[in-house]
Homo-oligomer: A and B are copies of this chain.
């Protein structure tokens, strides 16, 4: 969770800057920002890529649902241009570019804004991408960090192929579809995390404990990170459901309830993983204490069997002149008998105690 750790658990903040002033704190980038303009209604669908905002604005056709996706938030002047064009509040713009903003939903008069992270899980751990979705009357703006994986492709394809009801619905349904795609991405990510949890659980149970502790610790840290990301998303969706904005139509509301249900499931899943990891940790500790027990018992059994008889052997190794036993012909056999009796007796005693 290298990226997640460095970027999010440490609460970096553009401290000192006045609120509402744009300030990019993410990775340095110099690549161009791709602006994708998608317009559609039930009949038509257009998609064009631009690298220039004024060209994009010029291409917008009226009376269609408009979705503008901005693939990059490091060009602050572009963001400011867009902000001026759509009359976006400076605090919203700050949240769009500030990659450490908490997931949240805010309701302005002429638009609503949802800020959240896209979360991915690969073999290196968790990674995340900052994302903002703004819903205007018939327009949706989405801002994201440029990255190979795109959770929105699935929405684009549904629009392109007019799959389901999406082309018949308004911009608010599109905004919902985008959020839904993100939440779906969370499920995919959690499924992978869940596989790691299951794996470590099995390894601990099987006692094939190879470097299991740092990985358990890492998974716990990931859970802490995920809670910090996903609890606010639930709050976001709850606010969205309770919102009284006119921008969301009655018919879309039932889909938001569905989304709310999904976020509840996410939370329950994460909490389930957390409890499982705690229980796994307990089993791990126990296995480790069982091994200690085993070593202790082995040592005790071996010592208890041999130390007394070694003493006896030592006695008859003494060089006193007057040791009457030494001269007797059967002494040696007798001593062996005694020693073997002791050893067998000890063995039986510990056997009864089930120490071996």
Contact = CB atoms under 8 A, between A and B. Distances in A.
Interface of A: 5, 9-13, 15-16, 18-21, 89, 91, 100-102, 104, 106, 154, 158, 163-166, 177, 180-181, 184-185, 187-188, 190-191, 194-195, 198, 205, 213-214, 217, 220-221, 224-225, 228, 232, 254-255, 257-259, 261-262, 264-266, 268-269, 272-273, 275-276, 279-293, 295-300, 302-304, 306-311, 313-323, 325-332, 335-336, 339, 355
A310 B314 contact: yes
A90 to B, nearest CB: 8
B279 A282 contact: no
Given A104-B261, A313-B314, A318-B317, A224 B20 contact: no
Contacts of A164: 18, 20-21
A15 B184 contact: yes
Q: Which of A259, A295, A304, A336 is packed against the most chain B CB atoms within 10 Å?
A: A295
Contacts of A158: 18
B323 A317 contact: no
Given A18-B163, A205-B214, A286-B288, A257 B106 contact: yes
A266 B328 CA distance: 80
Query: Most chain-B CB neighbours within 10 Å: which of A101, A283, A300?
Result: A300
Contacts of A228: 268, 272
Given A254-B89, A288-B293, A290-B288, A321 B317 contact: no
Given A11-B269, A184-B15, A258 B91 contact: yes
Nearest to A255: B19
B102 A264 contact: yes
A322 B316 contact: no
Given A11-B194, A19-B180, A221-B279, 5 more contacts: A11-B266, A19-B258, A106-B257, A306-B311, A316-B320
A128 to B, nearest CB: 15
A156 to B, nearest CB: 12
Contact of A314 (B285, B299, B314): B314
A198 B261 CA distance: 35
Nearest to A217: B283
A232 B180 CA distance: 22
A11 B191 contact: yes
A15 B180 CA distance: 9
A154 B309 CA distance: 73
B327 A321 contact: yes
20 contacts: A10-B191, A11-B265, A15-B187, A19-B255, A20-B258, A89-B254, A102-B261, A213-B283, A213-B290, A221-B276, A281-B282, A291-B293, A295-B355, A300-B302, A314-B317, A316-B320, A317-B319, A320-B332, A321-B329, A322-B331
